[in-house]
Amino acid sequence: MKKKICLLGGLVALNNSYIKDCYAKIKLRGSQSSGGFVGCNYGEIYDCWAQTDSLKGKIMAGFAAKNEGILEHVFFIDDRKKKKKKYIDEELELAQEAAMQFPWNKETCWEAEDFPPLFKHDYFYIQSGYSEKVIEINTLEDLVEVTKHINQGERDYQSAVYNLMADIDCKGKKINPIGEDDSIPFKGIFNGNGHLIENFKIKGKKRKYGGLFGCLRDAKIMNLTVDGIIADAEYAGGIAGMMEGGIISCCGSAIHIEANKYAGGLVGKNRDGILVKTYAVGTIREKGRPWFLLLLLLPLLYLLLKMGIPYPAVPVDGNVQRLNDGLKPGGGNTAAFEFNRLIVFKDGIGELNFYNPGNSTQDIVVKLTITDEELINQLGDAHRTLFDQKRLEILANYDPKLTRQELAVTGRIPAGSSLMVLELKTLQDGTELPPGTYTAIIELTFYDTESQEKALLNSQLPVGIRIE
C-alpha cells in the first residue's frame, strides 16, 4: 500500500513561483510535513512572515518545511505557550530587530511601525483589468449561476471580468469551486472590490481541486476575502486549490481545511503564479483516520488503565548526595524540605543547600525563576530578545508581574537526598544576570517516590539571590 503524502503550508503548500508581501497565521496539524508559511518551496519568497501556536508533523518548520528556492526577508513567530521542541529551521526565526530592518514597503503596503507588520488597508486594493464581457455578482444565486457556466466549459464565462458588488453570506451551503477542474480552469479577472464571501462549504465530493476557485490559469484575483470550510480535495486552498500562472493580489483567507494531500491557507499549489499582499488565517488539519480504528484501540486502552500507565520519570540530578539521616516515611504523605533563603552565586554556581529528608514521600524538582518586572526594575528591561519581548507584548494576557524566566532547574532530588549547588543559566537574550541582589521565586514540583506521578499540589516561595 502506497503511503499517503500530506504537505501543509500556512499560505501555500507547494510553491515554485513568486510570493512577496504576504503573511500567514495558521494552526497546522499534520502527521508528515508542515511549514508555518510554505510546505515546500522551489520558488522565490520575499518580505513575508508566519505565525502559529500549533504545528505538528514528522518534518515541521516555522517558515518552510522544505526549501530549495530563495527565502529573503522572512521570519517566523513561535506563538506556542509550551515549547516541546525546536523547529528545524531555527535560522529563519529571526530576531525582531533584524526583521524591522527589512525594507518593508511602508508607503503602499505595510504598517511596519508595530510588530508584526500588517497591511495598510488603504492600499489593500488594486485596479481591475478590462474585458468585453463584464459580469456583476450581487447575490449567492449570481455566484452559483456563473460557477455553473464556467464549470460547463463556456469560454466567454471562463475569461470574463467579474465584479463582486456586495458581501455574500453562503449560510453554510455547499458550493462548487469556480473552475473545478484543470480542463475547465478559471482564466478571467475576479475583482472582489473589498467584499467578503463567507460561510461556504466545499466538501462531500472527492475532487482534485478545492477552494473558492478550483484551478486558476493565468487569472487575476484581487481585493477579495473568503471565509469557509474545505474538505475532500487533493489540492486545497482558501482562494484556489491550484494556481497556474496569473496573480492573486490584495486577498485574504479565513479558512478551515481538512487536508487530503496538499493544503495551503490561500493556495494549495502555486505553479508559475504571483502572490502579493495576501494573507491567510485559520486552521489546516490532516484528514483523520477512520473512527472505527479507534474502536479497535479501546480494549487496549482499557487494559492499560487497569494495569496503570507508567509516568515518565524525571531523571535524578547528577549532583545529589545521600543523607543517611535514618529517617523513614511514616503513614500518609509527607513533604519536607529546607534550603538557603539567600542563594549566593559565584562564577555561575549557587549555594542551594537543599535537603529532602528520608521521611518524605515525595521526590522534588527545584526551579529558580525571576519575573520580567524584577528584571525591568533592576536592569531597565526584561533582557529578552527584542523579538520575543515584542511578541509577548502583543498578547492580550502579557503581565510582567506574572511572566517569568527560568534561571536554573534541577533534576529529581529523591527523598533522603541533598543537592548543595545550583547552576545558573543565561537570560533569554543570552546574557548573564549582572552582579547584584534580586528577588526570585523557588518553584517546587513534587513526585510520588514510587509511581513518579506528578503531584497536583506544588509550592512556590520567594527567595533572594546575590550574584557576585
> Taking Cα atoms as reference points, which of 257, 253, 276, 277 lies closest to residue 266?
253
Averaged over 272-280, what is the pLDDT?
Answer: 92
Averaged over 454-464, what is the pLDDT?
Answer: 82
Can you give the pTM of this predicted structure? Answer: 0.61
| Alpha helices, H only, 280-430 | 291-307, 372-379, 386-393
Question: Are 280 and 238 in contact, with CB atoms under 8 Å apart?
Answer: yes
Question: What per-residue confidence (pLDDT) applies to 13?
Answer: 93
Comparison of pLDDT for 22 and 306, the residue scoring more? 22
Averaged over 55-83, what is the pLDDT?
Answer: 74
Burial class from Cβ neighbours inside 10 Å (0-12, 13-18, 19+) for residue 105 reads: middle
Has residue 133 got a pLDDT over 90?
no
* Distance (Å, whole) CA 203 – CA 333: 56
Count the Cβ atoms, other than its own, within 10 Å of residue 219: 25
Q: Which residues contact 413 (CB under 8 A, 6 or more apart)?
A: 316, 317, 320, 354, 356, 363, 364, 365, 366, 419
In the numeric block, which cell numbers belong to residue 165? 458588488
Comparison of pLDDT for 303 and 62, the residue scoring more? 62
* Distance (Å, whole) CA 219 – CA 239: 12
CATH annotation of 321-467: 2.60.40.2550
**Which position has the grid cell 529546607?**
338
Estimate to the nearest angstrom the gap between the alpha carbon of 46 and the chain centroid. Answer: 20
Q: Which residues contact 294 (CB under 8 A, 6 or more apart)?
A: none
pLDDT per position as a tens digit, 28-67 = 887 777 888 999 999 999 989 888 866 655 556 678 888 8
How many helices (H) and strands (E) in the chain? 6, 33
* Distance (Å, whole) CA 452 – CA 229: 44
HSE of 208, CA atoms in CB hemisphere, 13 A: 11
Question: What per-residue confidence (pLDDT) applies to 324?
Answer: 80
pLDDT confidence bin for 435, thresholds 50/70/90: very high
Ordered by start, the domain boundaries in the chain are 7-286, 321-467
Question: What per-residue confidence (pLDDT) applies to 1?
Answer: 37
